[in-house]
């Protein structure tokens, strides 16, 4: 049974999270350093694709850990346990940031002269709260804008749908993997990931009605199939080195592709950068099996730790951004190109990172362990054993 952490993929999580953060912080960067904003525009403008990378990683990692446990046959008990453990992983931070976002919206009503927009305030109602608590707010609308008080939370609602489907998906993937070679599984993974790309080619934009649905379902499935392919591989050291070089080449190609698509968008496509999504599955596969520069870099202790706090960063950064925008209005703050402005933007990113670390150590991990203990069998303290009636009794040594 193959389980456990793939360190390079943990490190990749912080790359994806920072990509999304910088995507949202583009207006601030444009004010503080127009030159940097312009130079990095092709990368920053495609930052929303970091969410697609997260979806693929999610499908891959969950399949890595649960394919053998849940794939052979249906088990209601195992499926419910899986769902509870997924809630334990995402729900605590999700609930805290959800209520922080709501609390700040209420705060602006009573403090200062610039409350948040009326549509935000209007969404502070009991029905919206109920939908968000149960992670289903996105399921009722074609667009994710305005679905959640904390903007990035829409993707957690989408992920929850994928988690609910995982019990069935893993049965299918297990059987496909049993009769398909690794190369065929890789091609199936790439094909599954093409659905959002085809919609992009059809419409020229990534954000169309219900576009979030194929993004989560097919990218998550692509990650699951990619994992099934990796699990079938038996690689030599030389092959791992080649995979590591492939990962480095893919990373460079993604960056170069973003600049090329920005300069020469097909048919004047607005979101041409989204086409690099087709390289995410090969990137995840090569990083998961590769050795060498890029896998080693992402596997360092610093990158792995940052990957661990990346969920908190993803969930808190937009709240920090919203607070800053409110303060700009309230105190008439103006950013002009200067070193102080650059340090201000950097400071906001660092504050988001520090809050993410705080969430990880104070909320995410303690709450995850607490929720996990609710369903794990209790082991008697040392020196005690459970009697048939359930009472604890001292353990006595018996002579052999």
Q: What is the DSSP letter of 299?
A: T
Note the pLDDT of residue 267.
87
Provide the number of structural domains found in the chain. 1
Question: Is residue 400's pLDDT more than 80?
Answer: no
Contact 199, 269 (CB under 8 A): no
Note the pLDDT of residue 394.
46
Domain-embedded: residue 174: yes
Greatest CA separation for the chain: 84
Domain-embedded: residue 382: no
6's tokens: 């793939």
| Distance from C-alpha of 352 to C-alpha of 356, rounded to nearest angstrom | 6
pLDDT per residue as tens digits for the range 28-73: 999 999 999 999 999 999 999 999 999 999 999 999 999 999 999 9
Query: In sequence order, what are the residues at sequence separation of 6 or more whose Cβ sits closer than 8 angstroms to the Cβ of residue 117?
Result: none
The average pLDDT across 306-321 equals 98
Residue-averaged pLDDT of the chain: 93
| Distance from C-alpha of 95 to C-alpha of 109, rounded to nearest angstrom | 22
Domain-embedded: residue 396: no
Domain-embedded: residue 2: no
Domain-embedded: residue 160: yes
Domain-embedded: residue 249: yes
Domain-embedded: residue 387: no
**Residue 148 Cα to chain centre, angstroms:** 16
Contact 275, 194 (CB under 8 A): no
| Distance from C-alpha of 251 to C-alpha of 294, rounded to nearest angstrom | 9
User: What are the phi and psi torsion angles at 306 (to 5°)?
Assistant: -60, -35
| Distance from C-alpha of 342 to C-alpha of 82, rounded to nearest angstrom | 44
Instruction: Go through the chain and tell me how many residues it has.
Output: 400
The average pLDDT across 193-212 equals 93
Note the pLDDT of residue 2.
62
Task: Tell me the C-alpha to C-alpha distance, in Å, between residue 70 and each of 62, 178, 375.
Answer: 11, 14, 17
Can you count the helices (H) and strands (E) in the chain?
A: 19, 2
Looking up tokens 């002009």 gives: 336
User: Please, which residues bridge with residue 394 across strands?
Assistant: 384
pLDDT per residue as tens digits for the range 334-376: 999 999 999 999 999 999 999 999 999 999 999 999 999 999 8
Of the two residues 380 and 164, the one the predictor is more confident about is 164
- 383 pLDDT band, cuts 50/70/90, is low
Question: Is residue 390's pLDDT more than 70?
Answer: no
18's tokens: 């920072």
Closest CA to 92 of 362, 373, 317, 335: 362
At residue 384's C-alpha, the angle toward residues 379 and 385, to 5°, is: 70
Q: What is the DSSP letter of 270?
A: T
Domain-embedded: residue 104: yes
Domain containing residue 206: 7-374
Which of 145-154, 262-271, 382-391 has the weakest average pLDDT? 382-391
In this prediction the pTM is: 0.92
> Helices 49-70 and 280-289 sit at what angle, rounded to 10 degrees?
50
């Amino acid at each position: 049974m193959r389980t456990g952490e793939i360190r390079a993929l943990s490190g990749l999580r912080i790359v994806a999270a920072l990509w999304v953060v910088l995507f949202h912080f583009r207006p601030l960067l444009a004010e503080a350093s127009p030159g940097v904003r312009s130079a990095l525009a092709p990368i920053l403008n495609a930052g929303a694709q970091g969410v697609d990378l997260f979806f693929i990683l999610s499908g891959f990692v969950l399949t890595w850990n649960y394919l053998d446990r849940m794939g052979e046959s249906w088990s209601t008990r195992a499926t419910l346990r899986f769902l509870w453990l997924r809630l334990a992983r995402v729900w605590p931070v999700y609930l805290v940031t959800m209520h922080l976002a709501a609390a700040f919206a209420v705060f602006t009503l009573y403090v200062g002269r610039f409350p948040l927009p009326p549509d935000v305030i209007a969404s502070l109602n009991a029905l919206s709260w109920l939908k968000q608590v149960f992670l289903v707010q996105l399921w009722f609308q074609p667009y994710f804008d305005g679905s959640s008080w904390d903007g990035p939370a829409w993707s957690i609602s989408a992920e929850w749908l994928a988690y609910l489907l995982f019990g069935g998906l893993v049965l299918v993937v297990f059987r496909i993997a049993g009769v398909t070679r690794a190369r065929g599984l890789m091609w199936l993974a790439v094909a599954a990931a093409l659905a959002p790309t085809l919609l992009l080619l059809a419409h020229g934009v990534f954000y169309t009605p219900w576009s979030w649905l194929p993004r989560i379902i097919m990218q998550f499935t692509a990650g699951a199939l990619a994992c099934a392919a990796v699990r079938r591989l038996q690689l030599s050291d030389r092959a791992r080195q080649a995979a590591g070089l492939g990962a480095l080449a893919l990373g460079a190609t993604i960056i170069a592709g973003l600049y090329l698509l920005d300069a020469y968008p097909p048919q004047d496509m607005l979101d041409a950068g989204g086409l690099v999504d087709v390289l995410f599955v090969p990137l995840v596969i090569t990083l998961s099996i590769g050795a060498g520069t890029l896998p080693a870099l992402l596997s360092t202790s610093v990158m792995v730790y940052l990957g661990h706090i990346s969920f908190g960063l993803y969930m808190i950064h937009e709240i920090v951004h919203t607070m800053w925008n409110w303060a700009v209005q309230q105190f008439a703050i103006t950013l002009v190109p200067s070193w102080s402005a650059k340090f201000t933007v950097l400071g906001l990113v660092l504050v988001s990172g520090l809050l993410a670390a705080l969430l990880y150590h104070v909320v995410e991990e303690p709450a995850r362990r607490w929720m996990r203990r609710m369903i794990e069998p209790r082991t008697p303290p040392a020196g005690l054993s459970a009697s048939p009636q359930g009472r604890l009794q001292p353990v006595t040594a018996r002579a052999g």
